[in-house]
Copies of this chain bind each other. A is one copy, B any other.
Amino acid sequence: MLKRKIVILKLYALTILGKNSKKADLLRKSGLFAEYGRGGYWHPAWIPSYPELIHIGNNVSVAADVRLYEHDLVRRMWICDPGYKGSEVPYYTGEIYVGDNSIIGARSIILYNVSIGKNALVAAGSVVTKNVPDYAIVGGNPAKVIGDTRKLYNKRISNK
């Protein structure tokens, strides 16, 4: 889709100009996403293939090299294999939700059919395959709950 390609070119331009803070606004105004809330941050010079399946809440921060995978290629396995009716297998996609105030850490992957709650934190390098509760900190591959952002807030505000 042409509109999507233009948005990606603009993301590249903002990256080269060092204007990462303008990217979330660009995505919100593009109208390509199912939902894209106010006041967030988007670092990657990349958007999903089907942004119409992605719901981003308010004040969501998406760090460098994050990927939201809302589709897969698995159907190709069966297309050329005579033992299967591959062409009858539907192309697979699923929606992704990211709740208000959540942080998606650098190099993380969020898979289809995942809902990330509000005020959640996905640690850098995570692969998120299941829903993430509100306030949870998740990390690892596959990602597991490893903490609570309310406790992290208390720790950080007292260390200031």
Residues of chain A at the chain B interface (Cβ within 8 Å): 5, 18, 39, 41, 58-59, 61, 63-65, 67, 69, 72-81, 84-85, 88-90, 92, 100-103, 105-107, 109, 111, 119, 121, 123-127, 129, 139-142, 149, 152-153, 156-157, 159-160
In the complex, chain B residues whose CB is within 8 Å of the CB of A92: 156
A149 to B59, CA, bound (A): 39
A67 to B67, CA, bound (A): 16
Counting chain B CB atoms within 10 Å of each CB, the highest count among A64, A79, A101 belongs to: A101
Majority secondary structure of chain A interface residues (helix, strand, loop or mixed): loop
A109-B107, A141-B141 known; A77 vs B149 contact (CB < 8 Å): yes
> Is the pair B121, A103 in contact by a Cβ cutoff of 8 Å?
no
Identify 20 new A-B residue pairs, CB closer than 8 A, beyond the known A90-B160, A124-B127: A41-B73, A59-B76, A63-B73, A64-B67, A69-B124, A73-B103, A73-B105, A74-B121, A75-B156, A77-B101, A77-B102, A77-B149, A81-B101, A84-B153, A85-B157, A89-B153, A90-B156, A90-B159, A127-B141, A140-B141
